[in-house]
Amino acid sequence: MAVHSLRVPIDGTSVGEAAVYAVPLDDGVALVDAGWPSDAAWTAFTAALDDAGVAMKDIRHVLITHAGHTCFLHTGEDVLFTGDHLLARITPNVGQQSIEDGSQPLADFLASVRLVAALGARRALPAHGPEFDDVAGRAAQIEGHHERRLTDVAALVAERPGISGYDVARRLRWAKPWDAFTPPMRRSAVGEALAHLVHLRGAGLIHSSDDLVVRWYPIA
Ligand SMILES: [Zn+2]
């Protein structure tokens, strides 16, 4: 029996639905993720379990990818449950929480993307959106996306020495116009801009001031 993909709606987020995977075991099934806590999600989840011929009492384990964004490799089926780490059409928000604590979330993320690609799994089963086969190819696309964004951020700092992280975020290319961003989306975007700024600073290409509003300058 192959892995079943169960689709569960998510309210109020841009991803639309969560994928729950039911993985056959010798004595039941393991679930990878469990959907969303809403009545609509529960109804869809229980109906999809029924359709897959899985009874609630057969569930032995529930593995959650979203706790720290863990990936699970199922060696028997050669599939990789990628959670939000690798998705077919979107990239996860990589956000910098503090620019002074030494954290390098973008470097960590890119290292993890390469690590997961090197597992060589046949097929990726992500937490949202379509499944895909070319795991290494998608990983390379995501790396390319961040490389381009690093180039864009470095260019903004070069053109506007003293630019703030907020102004970098506002001027980057996003899937929708900045004016259409809600406050939480802007907060995520600023976190992502800061992750790229800190990455460039770590590479010795730019530096930051210690003003109350931190400003970013190119290193000539
Ligand atoms: Zn997710």
* Tens-level pLDDT at each residue, the chain (220 residues): 689 999 999 987 777 899 999 999 999 999 999 998 899 999 999 999 999 999 999 999 999 998 888 999 999 899 999 999 999 998 888 999 999 999 999 999 999 999 999 998 999 999 999 999 999 999 999 999 999 999 999 999 999 999 999 999 999 999 899 999 999 999 999 999 999 999 999 999 999 999 899 999 999 7
* 165 CA to centre of ligand 1 in angstroms: 26
- pLDDT of res. 1: 61
Rounded to the nearest angstrom, the distance between the alpha carbon of 76 and the centre of ligand 1 is 25
**Rounded Cα distance, 97 and 22, in Å:** 34
- Measure 25 CA to ligand 1 centroid, in angstroms: 25
Query: Which amino acid, 121?
Result: A
Residue type, 57: K
192 CA from centroid of ligand 1 (Å) = 17
What's the rounded Cα separation, in Å, for the pair 9 and 35? 8
Ligand 1 center to residue 188 CA distance, Å?
15
Q: Ligand 1 centroid to 91 CA: how many Å?
A: 11
Q: Is residue 8 a contact partner of residue 40, using CB atoms and an 8 Å limit? A: no
Q: Looking at residue 121, what is its pLDDT?
A: 94
